[in-house]
Amino acid sequence: MILMGRLDAVDLTRRLARPESEQRLAALQRRLLHLRLIGAGLIGARLAPPLCVVFEGWDAAGKGGAIKRLVASLDPRHVTVRQYAAPDEEGRRHHFLWRFGPNLPGWGEMSIYDRSWYGRVLVERVEQLASEPQWRRAYGEIVDFERSLAAEQLCLVKFFLHISAPEQLARFERRRDDPLRNWKLTEEDWRNRAKRPEYERAIEEMLERTDHEVAPWHVVAAESKHYARVAVIERVIAAMEASMHRVGIEPPPARGADYDDEA
């Protein structure tokens, strides 16, 4: 039995006020843009390693908002965003990793996965869309898959956005009562919430068994959306810089007026 722990250890009191968040986001987005232009070969002659950012998290944890800020400064031609739900009939005819391959980035490219192959050990496990032998086998298959990608220099950044049960309920209720946002709230969201203890066990085992040296998990405190958005972009930038260093590309310094909000 996996002991609960990693989610419990997240400090959900972490906060950033909107003015500070917006100022920091503006500087980080400009830095991210600079790195993507370098990585895509539009500044300099060499392509940077592929960059793949994976988002998992509770329903209403703010994945969409974090992704929106992550791509806000980028030319749409320089980043691909794909959203995944449970596999359809076609997806069930293949190995569970099959449908994720076409959107993996190549050198100089960036892809973002709004949910991912981890559905096998989360929703497919809890909702019994995969048999127990299938989801138990998937931990090793996922780690081997990610290690093979890393061996080809792909930079994989994995986030789990964490919020408490009371905060999730409050966000659900705000969505329900907002006529321009209630489309985001489905009966499936309510059903998933009712199974939160089962999902917590699945998440803890996922974090325990698929956190490895080339693709660690970053569990982000997301009760403050302003804090989470800044934390996500900071981590992506750090990963991009490290991947460039590994292949001999020297990222430019991040200090100076180039990265000030009004530069």
Could you give the CA distance from residue 242 to residue 239 in angstroms, rounded to a whole number? 5
Q: Does residue 259 belong to any structural domain of this protein?
A: no
Q: Does residue 4 belong to any structural domain of this protein?
A: no
For residue 66, the enclosing domain spans 18-86+101-250
Q: Does residue 1 belong to any structural domain of this protein?
A: no
Positions in the chain whose pLDDT score sits under 70? 1-4, 255-263
What is the phi/psi pair of residue 21, to 5°? Answer: -60, -45
Please say whether the beta carbons of 116 and 54 come within 8 A: yes
Domain tally, the chain: 1
Q: Does residue 185 belong to any structural domain of this protein?
A: yes
pLDDT at 257: 41
Q: Coil, strand or helix: which one is 216?
A: coil
Q: Does residue 58 belong to any structural domain of this protein?
A: yes
For residue range 199-241, list pLDDT tens digits in order. Answer: 999 999 999 999 999 999 999 999 999 999 999 999 999 999 9
Q: Does residue 7 belong to any structural domain of this protein?
A: no
Q: Does residue 255 belong to any structural domain of this protein?
A: no
Q: What is the pTM of this model?
A: 0.93
Give the domain CATH number at 176. Answer: 3.40.50.300
Q: Does residue 177 belong to any structural domain of this protein?
A: yes
Which residue matches tokens 């994720």? 100
